[in-house]
Amino acid sequence: MKNIKAIVFDAYGTLFDVNSAADKCRGKIGDKWELFASHWRATQLEYTWLRSLMKRHKNFWQVTEDSLDKSMKVFKIDVSMKNELLDLYKVLSSYPEVKAVLKSLRAKEYKLAVLSNGTPALLNELIRSNSLEDIFDDIFSIEKVGIYKPDTKVYAMPVEKYQIRSEEIAFLSSNTWDVSGGGNYGYNAIWVNRNNNIFDNLDYKPKNEVNNLTQLLDIV
């Protein structure tokens, strides 16, 4: 991949494990914890898209809480666990290779950034709790434009900040709809396919697919 000037990462599911909050409560939730975690995540994303279409914006933390309320009812999880799950969501675990890969990239001349649905406060707490301070040049939150991915206003933020072309950005996400959103905007979008999933049919196919971020070091 040539002429890359900036490497931009999605946060949730790409750098940070969205299932780790429920995983840490598996002893209380029981065997259904994975199905619950998947439902929580799917509902959270669905709410971001629906709110964007309805032009009824709530920030990502409010959406996360709303989707948790529904998911706890669906899976009949004791409401007394709500605050514990929300607190754990603020400090999701990063994937094992993330820190080492980011440090390797930091040693090079790329701009490094996060581009996420999360609020600035949420993203800064995730980065702090995973000891990733001083890694990123910028943390781009959709709150600046007031609409969720995959709206083009979101993907335009790094281009406008760095005054570079969209094709000079390598964008990584584990979410196929996000890869397609960034790729259709003009990014060199890379799919982080951690779970051997099938890519969606959304008029974009990534040129590069990796199983984890370590493989990125062989691409850029």
The shares of helix, strand and coil residues in the chain, as percent rounded to the nearest 5, are 50, 15, 35
Alpha-carbon distance 144 to 60, whole Å? 12
Q: What is the structure's pLDDT at 2? A: 86
The 10 Å Cβ neighbour count of residue 72 is 19
Q: What is the structure's pLDDT at 113? A: 98
Query: Where in the sequence numbering do the catalytic residues fall?
Result: 10
Q: Please give the model's pTM, rounded to 2 decimal places.
A: 0.96
Q: What is the structure's pLDDT at 151? A: 98
Which residue, among 129, 149, 130, has the nearest Cα to 140 in the 3D structure?
149
Give me the average pLDDT of each 10-residue run along the chain (220 residues). Answer: 94 98 97 98 98 98 98 97 98 98 95 98 98 97 98 98 98 98 98 97 96 96
Q: What is the structure's pLDDT at 109? A: 86
End-to-end CA distance of the chain: 6
Alpha-carbon distance 82 to 79, whole Å? 5
pLDDT tens-place string over residues 31-68: 999 999 999 999 999 999 999 999 999 999 999 999 99
Which residue, among 132, 136, 138, 116, has the nearest Cα to 61 in the 3D structure?
116
Domains along the chain with CATH numbers:
6-17+97-218 (3.40.50.1000), 20-89 (1.10.150.240)
